[in-house]
Amino acid sequence: MGKMQEYIDEAEAALLHTYNRYPVVFDHGEGVHLYDIEGKKYLDFVSGIGVFALGYGVKEYNDALKAQVDKLLHTSNYYYNVPAIEAAKALKKISGMDRVFFTNSGAEAVEGAIKTARKYAFLKDGRTDHQIIAMEHSFHGRTFGALSVTGTQKYRDPFEPMIGNIRFAELNDIESVKKQVNDKTCAILLETLQGEGGIRPAEEAFLKELRALCDEKDILLMLDEIQCGMGRTGEYFAWQRYGVKPDVMTSAKALGCGVPVGAFLMTEKVGSASLVAGDHGTTYGGNPLGGAAICEVLREFEEKKIPQNAAKVGSYLYEKLEEVKAAHADIIDHRGLGLMQGLEFDHPVAEIINKALEKGLVLINAGSNIVRFLPPLVITEEHVDEMLKVLKECL
């Protein structure tokens, strides 16, 4: 029995079985490639589910983290630290938002956004029966609040009752949203581009109608940019493509490019009339290591023009995947923006993904019948060609 299988067996004996993992143990990465413990090389088109935007083994990023490790890792939020302050300033600059709260994950950022919306509404009328409208097929995380606004029944069912007062509408159907709106509605939450739910972009007209509806009724528009943000669609945040600014937004994944960080951000209007001292907290959120990671990520995004590369290579990928779709009758749709795209098949895609892995290409699904493409944002057109060669063999 090989060393790889030994590790896999040990994992299955020790770890809680909440993931059906692929049979590979990764050891290290370089550029846009991963290497398993036996030295086999893989082209990575998953980037740790949209996390490793800069690719692997980036010296400046690693050096920034090492320097911070030698200085200070943690102080708690009873004190200020420079990396978190600099990170907040840099994040405000690229997002145009006014207030930042740092978390450790995307789900935590969504929890904070939900609390923000409820507190904002509570301060207006003193009521505690406010409702949030979320979207069908959405995915916001696994904690109770985030799961409660996740629009996939099977994820919620075993853990009922959820937090309550959540209603669901259909993405890109403004009438379905209006049907759910009443005088208790305090927020409308959606992913600007749905990820796990099938790589479904919100349409510009729909977002603009939502913004108008929220303005008219003083409802908070909350956009989840955890997977589709941080340059992936060709802008820092997907909503910037449409010029529809949210009142609250969430970020994580590529925000730290490997260090677990997240954030929820809001406008001054919301920040000055929602959460106050004692309302929300975190032990690790905004720690110096996370702050240093965000600062370096944002510096490199600007220096290396990462969003621009995602736009350029993303349009090439789109064109090429359109050709693949045209050549295969079992591919029923192709959706996405920038370097976040999906091919929808009329059958489950597990076999395609497993075959690709054997051939040294890392892909994942989004739902059982969609192959999802989420490569590092530093890939080139040559990498797309390399991926396509393997994909076509697997099809």
Per-residue pLDDT reduced to its tens digit, 355-379 = 999 999 999 999 999 999 999 999 9
Per-residue pLDDT reduced to its tens digit, 247-262 = 999 999 999 999 999 9
DSSP notation for 271-311:
HTTS--TTS---SSTT-HHHHHHHHHHHHHHHHTTHHHHHH
- Say how many domains are in the chain: 2
Average pLDDT of the chain? 97
In this structure, the number of other CB atoms found within 10 A of the CB of residue 222 comes to 28
Residues 286 and 380 in one domain: no
Q: Which of 222, 245, 196 is nearest to 118 (CA)?
A: 222
Residues 178 and 287 in one domain: yes
Per-residue pLDDT reduced to its tens digit, 62-72 = 999 999 999 99
Residues 299 and 254 in one domain: yes
Query: Could you tell me which residues come within 8 angstroms of residue 113 by beta carbon, excluding any fewer than 6 positions away?
Result: 187, 189, 222, 224, 248, 249, 250, 264
Task: Give dist(CA 42, CA 26) in Å, integer.
Answer: 10
- How crowded is the C-beta side of 303, counted as CA atoms within 13 Å? 9
Residues 45 and 140 in one domain: no
Task: Give dist(CA 229, CA 222) in Å, integer.
Answer: 14
pTM of the model: 0.97
Residues 274 and 196 in one domain: yes
Residues 254 and 284 in one domain: yes
Give the single-character DSSP code of 376: -
> Of 269, 303, 337, which residue is a domain's last?
303
Per-residue pLDDT reduced to its tens digit, 9-32 = 999 999 999 999 999 999 999 999
Residue 2's pLDDT is 85
Query: Could you tell me which residues come within 8 angstroms of residue 366 by beta carbon, excluding any fewer than 6 positions away?
Result: 195, 196, 197, 198, 199, 342, 372
Here the CATH number for the domain that contains residue 276 is 3.40.640.10
Cis peptide before 161 (omega within 30 of 0): yes
Tell whether the model's pLDDT for residue 1 goes beyond 70.
Answer: no
Task: Give dist(CA 312, CA 318) in Å, integer.
Answer: 10
pLDDT band at 237 (very low <50, low <70, confident <90, very high): very high
Task: Give dist(CA 386, CA 213) in Å, integer.
Answer: 45
